Structures are given as structure tokens and as C-alpha cells.
A and B are shown apart, each in its own frame.
Chain A
Amino acid sequence: MQDKHLSPLNFVNHITDIIAAIFLGPFVGEPLHLNSSILGIVFVIITIVWNISSYLCFTYSIEDSQIVIKKGVFFKKVIHVPFARIQSIEHSQFVLFRIFDVEKLQINNASKSGSKDQVTLDAVKTYVGAILEEKHKQYENQDIDASDESKQLIVEKTDDKTESETNKAHEYAQYKISTRDIALYTFTSFRVFITMFVIVHITHGAILEVAISLYQKGAGSNIFTLVAFSIMAIILALLLSFIYTMIQLYDFTLVKEGKYLEYEKGLITRSKVRLSTDRIQSVLVEQNIMGKLLKIMTIKIVMASDDNDDDSSQAVVLPILDARKYDDVMSAFFEWLPLKTIEKFNSRKRSIWLFFRNICWILLIIPIVIYFIGWSTLSYVLVGCDIFLFVYIFGNAYFRYRVSSIGLTGDTKDDYLIVSNGFLFKQKTYYVGWHEIQSMHFNSSIFMKRNNLANITVSIRKGNSSKNIEVSYINYEDGQRIYDWYRQ
């Protein structure tokens, strides 16, 4: 396919530009005392002309070994992406485009230039995506066959027992989300409060005023109705965030086929990503304090991509996983991960104090504020806040001490590091292979060394930059042990 244009449906994506241009008219016109409506029309015309010309200048060609994009109205740019370099291809389809069989393709080649040279085909027929996937698969296999023979040999040696059988069992696995899972996911994550905050923020607090006036009109102001009203507001927010999550994760499906993972989700915009398991930089298990109580967790994968947004660099692959089924599910989807650690080093008990000490200066802010504004009735509330903050920080320090650990699954370079840390009552456990670690830092100040403490920081690839995973305040010798494992 040579020099093809995108589908004309691409203009639908740009309707928002025209709306923005209409609003830009009065925004620029009024302070300058110009005729806003004429200015608005001029802006709209410029936008339309710009969109049409950039549409005409954008072409893509799929060649034997690469995809070539030509774009730019004034500054022409040609981007070549060899298929062997593609990390993954993201398909997303807006609900209206489904009728026309058109979708958006985002090709992640994970170059360091990131989103600047990102290859996105905003609207193309779905068969283009299929061709690209086919080519990508073909080249990826070649790449791996050539370079990974030694690795496969090791795998064969360790798997003495009926290898074909175990392989078959790992060939295919599927997970489909149920409504119950979506509900659990919504109610156990603290996103409901974030939703409430976002709603208040985007309406500039108007919703708060409405709520308060409703409350004052509807009921007298006593403590009982206040509590009832608050509960109602929370339930409403929960419902809204449930609907939002439902739209986002609608019909979420994760399929593992051979060495490929494929996940699909969404109601209004349906997105689909298929990627080879050896492109995964790390597997991340998240569990917050609610999850700990209910024994459920969320599994994500960390990938290299062109964007740093969570969707493409740290995708949720199993929104809800029952802790009791953990071993089964993990070995079905991520069979290459060794789950058992042979050595595990925890944070020292002393770290409770150290975690607390590192952040406790925050507690000083409120006394300083009170000192400057003077003592009033408001101060009681502030002191209350400070006490709450103290408990919270202390709890956080204790939580971090409980969950921080670093473990090894073996002594060789094919083994994994299992790093677990926590912040604000959420535990994150990363499984990182030796080959995926980009660099490792070992630090220990002289004060820490006197107390026989050390920190380990592991740097891995995430999105278009790096992710540092840190374990603090483990024993000095244990830290040295991990560092030596990496240095072998």
C-alpha cells in the first residue's frame, strides 16, 4: 500500500477544534475591541483550511519491512518505523466509527523521542490494522528466533517433565470481567472520592452550592439530616463512578494465546492491544488496604511505549483477582514468572520511625499557621486536622514497614526480583527479571551504615522514560546480597 490517505472520517475527530475556534473568537476579540463574530468566523475558516491541508499532507505506506508516514503542511516530515522495532499496536474504535469499520491505530515503537514522533493513524479501515498486526507478528518472531536460542535451551533443561503437556496448558487462557468484578473494583479503589473531587472541580464548586441550598431547603439543619445527606451524596458519587468504570471497563477481556497477551475494553471507545509477553518490562500487583481486607488485588503490566499515560505504559490486565486464586491465575497468564522466593528481605522495624521522621515536618505547618493567624475557634478544627494527620502519617509509616520487602527467586540471571513497597495504604509488588532491570542503585549514608541499613533502587523502563522502584531500610548485608546478585 503506497501513500494512502486516512479515512475522511478523521474530520469527525477534529470537530472539537472548530468548536474551540468559535469560542476563541470572543475570547480574543473582546479585550482587543474587535468584532468577535467576524473574528470567530475567521478562526473557524483557518481551522478548517488547516485541517483539510494537514489531512491532504498526511499519508502512510505499508512496505515490506516498515511503515512510512509522511506528514506536515509547512515542515515536511517522513517517519520510518521498521516492523521489527514496534513494541505494540493499540487499536481504539469510537462507537460511531464501528458502522464504517474504521478505527484509530497507535503504533508504539518506544523511541526515546516519545510522543513527538509518535505514529498515530487517527482513522483507518480495520483491515489496515490487521495487515500491520500480521507484519508485526512475522517480524517479531524472526527477531526472537535469531537471538533467543540460548534462552530457550535453559528453559528446556529446567522443564524435564512432559514439556508438551505443560506447554499446552499454558497455550490459552481467558479472563472476562463480570459486573460483580466491576462493582468490586469501583468500591474498593478510592476513586469515588477522586470522582467527587473532579465533579466539584470541573463545575467550579457550583454543584456544592446547589447541594447546600438543596440541603437547607429540604431539611432543617440538625446533625442527623447532615449525616443522612452526606451518606446520600457519597452513594450518588459511588453510583456515578460505578457507571464511569462500567463504561471504561465494559466487556473487559484478557486473552493469552501462546506468547501473546491481548486485552480489550470499553463501551464508547473500544480499545484493543495485543503484545508479545517478552515486551513486558514488569508485572505489577497492586493491593490497597480495602483489597487486603477483602483479599482481592489488581494486576497491571508495565510496558515501554511512546506515551507516559497510564493506559499505554501501565495497563490494567486483571482488574480484580481473588487472592485465593492468585497462584492459578498467575501461572495461567504469566507462566514465566516464578512466584516463590528463595530469599526475602524485609524492611527493619526501625524503618517505622524513619519513614515517620522523613515526613513529620508536615505536622509543623499547622502550628505555624496558627501562630501567625492567632488562636480562634477555627484553630480547634486545625488542631483536629493535625492530630488526624499525625495518626495518618504514623499509620502510613507502619504500613510501609509492613509491606516493604525485596526477594529473589533464584541466583541466576534468569531469575526475578520481587520488589514490594507501599505508599498511602497501597501495596505495590513488582516482578522484574534480571534482563529488564536497566540499572540498580545501592545507597547507604554513613548514618544508615552505622545502623546497618541500606536502600536499593531498581530502574526499569516504563512508557517513554524510567520507573524507579525503591525499597528502603533493609539490612545492609541483605542489600549487598541483592546488589551482588545484579552485578554477577
Chain B
Amino acid sequence: MKKLPESVKVVWLYSAIITIVVEVIIFTAATIGVKYLDWKYVEYILPVLGTILVISALVDMISIPYRYAFHQYAIYDDRVEIQNGFIFREQATIPIARVQNVDIEQGPILRHKNLYKISIYTSADSHDIDAVTKEESENIKTQVMRLAMEARNAR
């Protein structure tokens, strides 16, 4: 089982901070706006909702080392395995023969750290590996697609 690159922690941290900042701005603005509108119940709903969302983003931020420690993946000749979480532990297996396509994405924060996000699609669902390095992403793509072609032709 492979771990994600260490720098993914920074990526997660940035995205958590951005989420918190955006949420705080939106909900403060909305709360002030609603105050002027004199809308009776919405006045209470917005701050409560905002607090919940910000707390959940904070929990996300605090749990970064934990998430990092337990997010693992492995690519074998016939299957891809992804593991997540310790308290709520989840393992997923995708046989290579079921893979339809592999997507490589890169958002602005990932680009800053030169990392890529990988999504592995079957004809029914998709599975993500949150971040890998550039060489690793190319490796995964070629390896998975090559194995997928072989597996399909062999069947």
C-alpha cells in the first residue's frame, strides 16, 4: 500500500482555510443582509448553519494528519485498491478489467504543489486518489490503461 505524497497535507490545509474564509465571508454578508430585510426566522438560521459548516471545515482541517495517515492506495496487476479512514475504515477494490477510463485533474492549489488528482471510473461509479506526483500520475494512467486493455482482451 502506498501513501499519498507528503505535500498533500499542505494542499488540504490550504483548501480547508479557503473554505473557512469563503464560508465566513458568505455567511457574515448574508446575516447582515438578512438583518436589514427584517426576515424573522432566517435571521437565526443563517448564523447557525454558518457555524456548523465552519466547524465541520475546522474538523476537516484538524483531521488532516489523521486522513493523511490512513489514505492509501495500491495498484496490482489485476486490481486497484483504495483504503480510507481509521475510525470509519473503508476499503474498496476495483478490478482493472472494469476500469473504463482514468481522469487526471489539477486544480489551482494542486498545481501550486505540482500534484494531480486521479479519478478511476468504472461504468457505474468512480473512485478518487486525492493527490499523486506527476510521474506517479503518468505511471498510474499508463499502467491501469494497459492492464485494462490486456484484461479485456484476455477475457
Chain A residues packing against B (C-beta within 8 Å):
110, 112, 147-148, 150-151, 304, 435, 437-447, 449, 459-462, 465-467, 483, 486-487
B87 within 8 A of A: yes
- Expressed in whole angstroms, the Cα–Cα distance for A467 and B122 within the complex equals 12
Residue of B nearest to A449 (CB): B89
Partner of A446, one of B87, B93, B98, B124: B87
B89 A483 Cβ-Cβ under 8 A: no
Check if B88 sits within 8 Å of A443, measured CB to CB.
yes
Q: Cβ of B123 and Cβ of A439 under 8 Å apart?
A: no
Bound-state Cα–Cα, A110 to B100, Å? 13
Separation in Å of the B142 CB from the closest CB of chain A? 21
| A441, B91: Cβ atoms closer than 8 Å | yes
Q: Which among A150, A445, A460 is the interface contact of B124 at CB below 8 angstroms?
A: A460
Given contacts A441-B92, A466-B124, 11 further A-B contacts (CB under 8 A): A112-B123, A439-B124, A440-B93, A441-B90, A443-B90, A446-B89, A447-B87, A459-B122, A459-B124, A459-B125, A461-B123
Provided the pairs A112-B123, A147-B155, A461-B123 are in contact, do residues A439 and B88 lie with their beta carbons within 8 angstroms? no
Give chain A residues whose Cβ lies under 8 Å from the Cβ of B100: 112
> Does B44 have its Cβ within 8 Å of any Cβ on chain A?
no
B61 interface hit (Cβ, 8 Å): no
Q: How far, in angstroms, from A439 to B89 measured CA to CA in the complex?
A: 17
29 contacts between A and B (CB under 8 A): A112-B123, A147-B153, A150-B154, A435-B155, A437-B98, A438-B94, A439-B93, A439-B98, A439-B124, A439-B127, A440-B92, A440-B93, A442-B93, A443-B88, A443-B90, A444-B89, A445-B89, A446-B86, A446-B87, A446-B89, A460-B124, A461-B124, A462-B124, A465-B124, A465-B125, A483-B91, A486-B93, A486-B95, A487-B79
* Mask of B60-98 contacts with A, CB within 8 angstroms, 1/0: 000000000000000000010100001111111111011
CA distance A110 to B122 in the complex (A): 13
Main secondary structure of the interface of B (DSSP, over half): strand
Residues of B with Cβ closer than 8 Å to A?
79, 81, 86-95, 97-98, 100, 122-125, 127, 153-155
Q: Among the listed B90, B123, B127, which residue makes an inter-chain contact with A304, where contact means beta carbons less than 8 Å apart?
A: B123
The residues of B that contact A446 with a CB separation of less than 8 Å are 86-87, 89
* Chain B residues whose C-beta falls within 8 Å of the C-beta of A148 in the assembled complex: 155
Of B88, B94, B125, the residue contacting A466 (CB under 8 A) is B125
Residues of chain B contacted by A112 (CB below 8 angstroms)? 100, 123
With a cutoff of 8 Å between Cβ atoms, the chain B residues found around residue A445 in the complex are: 87-89
Beta-carbon contact of B125 and A439 below 8 Å: yes
The tally of CB-CB contacts under 8 A between chains A and B is 70
Most chain B CB within a 10 A radius of its CB, from A147, A443, A449: A443
What's the minimum C-beta distance from B130 to chain A, rounded to whole angstroms? 17
Which residue in chain A gives the minimum CB-CB distance to B79? A487
Nearest A residue to B152 by beta-carbon distance?
Answer: A147
Which residues of B are found within 8 Å of A147, using beta-carbon distances? 153, 155
Give complex CA distance A465, B124 in Å.
5
B88, B97, B124, B153 pick with most chain A CB within 10 angstroms: B124
Contact partner, A443, options B89, B94, B95, B124, Cβ 8 Å: B89
Contacts of B124 in A (CB 8 A): 438-439, 459-462, 465-467
Closest residue of A by beta carbon distance from B94:
A439
The answer to whether B89 touches A487 (Cβ under 8 A) is no
* Residue of B81, B87, B155 with most chain A CB atoms under a 10 A cut-off: B155
**How far is B94's CA from A459's CA once the two chains are assembled, in angstroms?**
10
A460 contacts which chain B residues (CB < 8 A)?
A: 124
In the docked arrangement, what's the CA distance between A147 and B155, Å? 6
Q: Which 9 A-B pairs have the closest CB atoms?
A: A466-B124, A443-B90, A438-B122, A438-B124, A439-B94, A461-B124, A466-B125, A445-B88, A442-B91
User: In the assembly, what is the distance between CA of A439 and CA of B93, in Å?
Assistant: 6
Q: Given the complex of chains A and B, what is the CA–CA distance between A447 and B86 in angstroms?
A: 11
Residues of B within 8 A of A435 (CB): 97, 155
- Residues of chain A contacted by B89 (CB below 8 angstroms): 443-446, 449
Cross-chain contact B92 with A439 (CB below 8 angstroms): yes
* Across-interface contacts of A467 in B (CB, < 8 A): 124
Q: How far is the CB of B67 from chain A (nearest CB, A)?
A: 15
Give bound CA distance, A150 to B97, whole Å: 15
**Given contacts A483-B91, A483-B93, A486-B93, are A438 and B125 in contact (CB under 8 A)?**
yes
In the bound assembly, the distance between CA atoms of A282 and B123 in angstroms comes to: 15
On whether the beta carbons of A439 and B86 are closer than 8 Å, the reply is no
Q: Once bound together, how far apart are the Cα atoms of A486 and B89, in whole Å? A: 18
Complex contacts, A449 vs chain B, CB 8 Å: 89
Q: Which residues of A contact B92 (CB under 8 A)?
A: 439-442
Task: Collect the chain A residues with CB atoms within 8 Å of residue B91's CB.
Answer: 441-443, 483
> A438: which of B81, B123, B154, B155 is its contact (CB, 8 Å)?
B123
**Chain A: which residue is nearest B121 at the CB level?**
A112
- In the assembly, what is the distance between CA of A444 and CA of B85, in Å? 10
Residues on the A chain within 8 Å of B79, using CB: 487
Residues B90 and A442 in contact, CB atoms below 8 Å apart = yes
Decide if A150 touches B155 in the complex (CB within 8 Å): yes
Contact (Cβ within 8 A) A439 B90: no
**CB closest residue in chain B, given A467:** B124
Residues of A within 8 A of B87 (CB): 445-447
Instruction: Tell me how far the C-beta of B81 lies from the nearest C-beta in chain A, rounded to whole angstroms.
Output: 8
Q: Known interface pairs A459-B124, A466-B125, A467-B124. Does A438 touch B90 (Cβ–Cβ under 8 Å)? A: no
Query: How far does the Cβ of A284 sit from chain B's closest Cβ, in whole Å?
Result: 16
